[in-house]
């Protein structure tokens, strides 16, 4: 049981279908394509680019380690070549689900970030620190509005495999 006496979901589907009505944008859209005054695109993004999303549900009791890893990831992310925009949100209602949305110039730029030392250090510990996690990316040819967490959730729902998560374990 969790600290608020709710049973902990036992599958990725259960976590993903959790209530995120309280999703709080903790790091609003920033990046070279974002107007800092409006938080919207300066102008449409034309040509091929990638949108990436991830969501994880952190286990309680690992906050100091998770915070340190996340600080290193964000320090790398915000200056990463090829990053066009990024936004982060958290839902306390849904077991502190932590969502990211980012826009990248191309697949190489995204892969460069994913293979960076801070990201790899966190990825190596994800099973220890998270109840579950999922991510995806998709190619776009023109973006006139920034993507939304609802869109990201729908895209993840569309590709999520059925059945137990690879994270599932008796201690889950």
DSSP for 1-53, please give it.
--TTSPPPPSSHHHHHTS--TT-EEEEEEESTTB-TTTSSBSS-EEEEEEEEE
Handedness of CA 31, 35, 36, 39 (dihedral sign): negative
Question: Could you report the per-residue pLDDT of 10-19, keeping only the tens digit for each?
Answer: 899 999 999 9
- List the beta bridge partners of residue 138: 51
70, two tokens = 């996340």
For range 28-40, the mean pLDDT: 97
pLDDT in the model for residue 141: 94
Does residue 2 surpass a pLDDT of 70? Answer: no
Report whether 20 contacts 93 (CB < 8 A): yes
Question: Could you report the per-residue pLDDT of 96-146, keeping only the tens digit for each?
Answer: 999 999 999 999 999 999 999 999 999 999 999 999 999 999 999 999 999
Range with the poorest average pLDDT among 48-52, 56-60, 157-161, 168-172: 168-172
13, two tokens = 């589907």
Neighbours of 69 (CB within 10 A): 20
pLDDT in the model for residue 170: 45
Dist CA 154 CA 25 (whole Å): 18
Measured in residues, the chain has a length of 172
Nearest Cα to 13, choosing from 163, 127, 170? 163
Domains within the chain, CATH numbers bracketed:
55-159 (3.30.70.100)
Q: Is the pTM of this model over 0.95?
A: no
């Amino acid at each position: 049981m969790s600290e608020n006496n709710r049973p902990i979901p036992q599958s990725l589907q259960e976590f993903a279908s959790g209530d995120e009505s309280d999703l709080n944008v903790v790091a609003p859209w920033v990046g070279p394509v974002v107007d800092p005054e409006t938080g919207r695109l300066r102008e449409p993004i034309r040509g091929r680019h990638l949108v990436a999303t991830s969501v994880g549900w952190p286990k309680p009791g690992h906050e100091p380690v998770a915070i340190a890893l996340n600080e290193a990831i964000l320090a790398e992310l915000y200056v990463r070549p090829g990053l066009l925009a990024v936004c982060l949100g958290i839902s306390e209602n849904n077991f502190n689900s932590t969502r990211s949305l980012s826009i990248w110039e191309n697949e190489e730029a995204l892969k460069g970030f994913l293979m960076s030392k801070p990201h790899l250090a966190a990825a190596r510990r994800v099973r220890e620190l998270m109840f579950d996690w999922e991510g995806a990316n998709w190619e776009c040819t023109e973006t006139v509005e920034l993507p939304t967490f609802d869109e990201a959730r729908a895209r993840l729902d569309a590709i999520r495999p059925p059945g137990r998560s690879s994270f599932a374990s008796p201690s889950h």
